Structure 1
Amino acid sequence: MEQQALARTAGEDADYLRLGIAKDRIEPWEDGARTDNSAGTYEWWYFDAHLSDGSKVVVSFLNKMISEADKPLDPTLMLNLDLPDGRSFEKVAKFEASEFSAAKDHAEVRFGDNSLIGDLRSYRIVAEIEEVSVDFTLQAEVPSWRPKTGHMYFGPGEEKLFAWLPSVPQGKVTGSFTVAGQRAEVTGVGYHDHNWGNVGLPSVIHDWYWARGQAGPYSVIASYITAHEKFGYEAIPIFMLAQDGTIIADDSKLVRFETEDIRIDDVTAKPVANITRYSYDDGADRYQVTFTRKNDLSRSKMIDDVHGPKRVLAKLARFDGAYLRFSGELSIKHFRDSELIEEYQDEAIWELMYFGHAR
């Protein structure tokens, strides 16, 4: 009998039936609230964009901090803006539970006057923290997608869940951002996804690389998740490649992941690959997607987000989580029968989420 993987992405017919979702169709309710916000669960809605003036923006609506899934509802808004003149803003704001709302039949998340609202095709993202505010519209150019059911289970019994829905793998962004009263009207390329689960991520995941980008006619989402040690460091590769708005490759079994030029980050003490590469080979065609780090957009230790007695407990437990976000070059190469037939480069954003101790 074949041994069941300790970590897997659910993709059998029975999984779709049990979850009430279709293989070939994603419904707006899948981007709506999927948890009850209780202790032990977490959920967040994420948006990022590369803008026409060279700026980069990330907005995250979290029902609680990732490192504190055991807490009750604790709405947290994160707004990061990197400007081409070198200025960088990393803003975090907390809200009362009474200021939080999230619809179940579509994406409509509100933290006070801040909101992310959409229907898989069109979204509006409005956020303001201190002197920085954004108001963007995101129009989908690549259809919603998920790796199989989008539900990843850890351990026997399939009780431990991490779920992921790239609601807009790529879209057109229009709108504005304001810094200290100075408003800039911009366009750009954006992305939106939605995550949720029923167990704290540090207890099931050791680390992950996650990236998305666009170059030439291609759009890509790529991730390499490594499960916690107790799940045998099981690897969960994820890959989606679209050409001219049509998904052409997304079978994770055909992906090979590689890292090169690894260094130890001087802030988080985590090993960081300056080059990450995803190779997809279906026999006739081979795609090589490479991310080359140029700049660090964010480097932080998760324990800095834990306060009070829990911070003491986290230190005693040697909690060592870290988050790093990078910008750099995305290269997409297309080979056919070993011959390079096309190649494109562009800018991209990607991240390294590291919950465990360095291996």
Structure 2
Amino acid sequence: MRETPDTPSPRSRRAFLRDAAAAGLVTAVPGLAVSACSGAERTEAAAASPHPVTPAASSPAAGLTSNGYGRTAADYARTGLTPGTVQQWEDGFRTAAANDDPDVFEWWYSDFTGDDGTVVSFTLSTRLDDGFVPEPGEDRRRPRSAVIVTDPDGTSHGGTQEYDWSEFSAARDRCDVRLGPFTFTGDLKTYRMRGHSGDVGVDLTLTGLVPPFRPGTGVIYFGDTDDHFGWLCVVPSGTVTGSVTVNGKERSFTGHGYHDRNWGNRPFPYSVEHWRWGRGSVGPYSVIGADLHLREQYGSATVPVFLVDDTKAGKRLVGAYDTRTVTATESAPVPYDDPAYPRDYYSKVHWTYHDGADRADFTFTDTGQRIVSRHYLTSPTDAQQKALDRLGIDEIWYTRYATDNDLTLALATTHAAGSGTGTLEAAQFGLADAPPRTGSSAS
């Protein structure tokens, strides 16, 4: 439990809100619009005054959402957000006021796929472990860059680098992040990533083809607490131009790219059992699917996301995050090729969207090509081991795979079907969620 002076305990925040409302001590945020807007509208990029960098308790007039993305008027008031509109400050430094807390984490992420098959991953983070480990401690509270260029033949260059805080700065009212030799700047529509370190350098400009996507408030509160996780998909799909430099040789780069961001105030192992997240394309359609599974104390809730955009028309076709309209099913267990990974994993995830007469189906199938794999906490500290034992966690893994994709759309405005390619990631906090070695399919 973490408390700050003159602030209610995170785990009694809701009780505080109810009492404050009854006493007339809490009011709604002045001028906050709460009318519904189409998620497909082009978002306004006009800069707004910086809002609280951590979600603020503002109005308990309506119910507050737990264990899922906020969607009520009170949820929007609590986070200082407007339905249907993403503002520039949302891509700014959201955890600035709490950055001295080792549990807090935040990162800005982009990846790019070149027309020639070159792949670039560009991430600037405020923590070495990105919230993946419990009890990280002050020595892990350091900023980090991860810039990797992978050639068409699979050869990778670059890597991660940690820095001192004197080498980090980030604006609160917009995306303007500077870390060592790297910069990450943009305005919700156009982004530029620049810098050179070691054997790699990048100078890339990403231009969005579709509006940003935020599922409701984009913030999940866990139970009756202030513990939360946030996600904002700023550029679901965009075009990329610029150059990459590998071992002193510069080459031009054109292709497609993506940018999102994550932040939170409590490491994932305390609230999340596992998640699957994938991104791919089929013809002019870009697709994102997510399926977050929370721990038992948070109702074993699942938090899905399913996004389909027509990049040619610049139109959002599906933007769903409600379990009543979208589900994800994991299946097809196969052995993992690393003996340190003690169980099989699900190689296929199928998202289904059904809302009235509208239906969409999308399947990610692992091709067997593992892009990246990371085993966290191979040598946990005493504090970390105690936390793992208390949580019943034996392993923490992150993996990403290349996939084949299949999409079927049966919407009022669009009927289409086809195949494409993409990537699928799995984050597992304990392997109890992995299938047994019997080879039986998921139920």
Q: Shared topology, TM-score over 0.5?
A: yes
Q: CA deviation at 1:231?
A: 1.9
Q: State whether structure 2 residue 395 is matched by structure 1 residue 320.
A: yes
2:126 to 50, 57, 63: 63
Q: CA deviation at 1:287?
A: 1.1
| SS state at 1:15 partner | helix
2:316 to 241, 247, 250: 247
Superposition pairs of residues 1-359 of structure 1, within 5 angstroms: 7-36=67-96, 37-39=99-101, 40-64=103-127, 65-66=129-130, 67-68=132-133, 70-72=136-138, 73-89=141-157, 91-156=159-224, 158-243=225-310, 244-253=313-322, 254-267=325-338, 268-269=341-342, 271-294=344-367, 295-304=369-378, 320-335=395-410, 341-359=415-433
Deviations 1:207-232 (A, max 9, x none): 11111222222122210000023223
Deviations 1:130-184 (A, max 9, x none): 212222110011111111100011112x311000000111111111222212222
| SS state at 1:7 partner | coil
**Contact 2:70/2:218 (CA < 8 Å) preserved in 1?**
yes
| SS state at 2:373 partner | strand
**Contact 1:222/1:240 (CA < 8 Å) preserved in 2?**
yes
State the AA in 2 paired with 1:282.
Answer: D
Q: 1:125 to 1:8 in 2, by over 3 A?
A: same
Q: CA deviation at 1:187?
A: 0.8
- CA distance in 2: counterparts of 1:4 and 1:174, whole angstroms: 43
- CA distance in 1: counterparts of 2:396 and 2:198, whole angstroms: 27
TM-score (norm 1): 0.90
- CA distance in 2: counterparts of 1:341 and 1:162, whole angstroms: 35
Q: 1:102 to 1:345 in 2, by over 3 A?
A: same
- CA distance in 2: counterparts of 1:310 and 1:132, whole angstroms: 37
Q: CA deviation at 1:79?
A: 2.1
| SS state at 1:194 partner | strand
- CA distance in 2: counterparts of 1:326 and 1:114, whole angstroms: 27
Unaligned runs of 5+ in 1: none
**Contact 1:289/1:333 (CA < 8 Å) preserved in 2?**
yes
Q: CA deviation at 1:70?
A: 4.2
- CA distance in 2: counterparts of 1:167 and 1:347, whole angstroms: 21
Q: CA deviation at 1:336?
A: 5.9
Deviations 1:314-353 (A, max 9, x none): 787755111101112222212369xx94213222122111
Range 81-90 or range 228-237, more displaced: 81-90
**Contact 1:28/1:119 (CA < 8 Å) preserved in 2?**
yes
- CA distance in 2: counterparts of 1:242 and 1:262, whole angstroms: 30
TM-score (norm 2): 0.74
Q: 1:127 to 1:271 in 2, by over 3 A?
A: farther
**Contact 2:94/2:172 (CA < 8 Å) preserved in 1?**
yes
Deviations 1:225-282 (A, max 9, x none): 0002322321111112122321121232311211221124233335422221111112
Higher Cα Rg, which structure: 2
Q: Report the count of equivalent residues.
A: 353
Q: 1:336 to 1:9 in 2, by over 3 A?
A: closer
State the AA in 2 paired with 1:194.
Answer: R
Q: CA deviation at 1:5?
A: 7.7
| SS state at 1:250 partner | strand
State the AA in 1 paired with 2:396.
Answer: G
Q: 1:313 to 1:95 in 2, by over 3 A?
A: farther
| SS state at 2:209 partner | strand
State the AA in 2 paired with 1:347.
Answer: T
**Contact 1:82/1:297 (CA < 8 Å) preserved in 2?**
no
State the AA in 2 paired with 1:204.
Answer: S
State the AA in 1 paired with 2:147.
Answer: L
Unaligned runs of 5+ in 2: 1-62, 434-443
Q: CA deviation at 1:309?
A: 6.4
**Contact 2:231/2:263 (CA < 8 Å) preserved in 1?**
yes
Sequence identity, in percent?
Answer: 31
The structure with the largest strand share of the pair is 1
Q: Which residue of 1 aligns with 2:45?
A: none
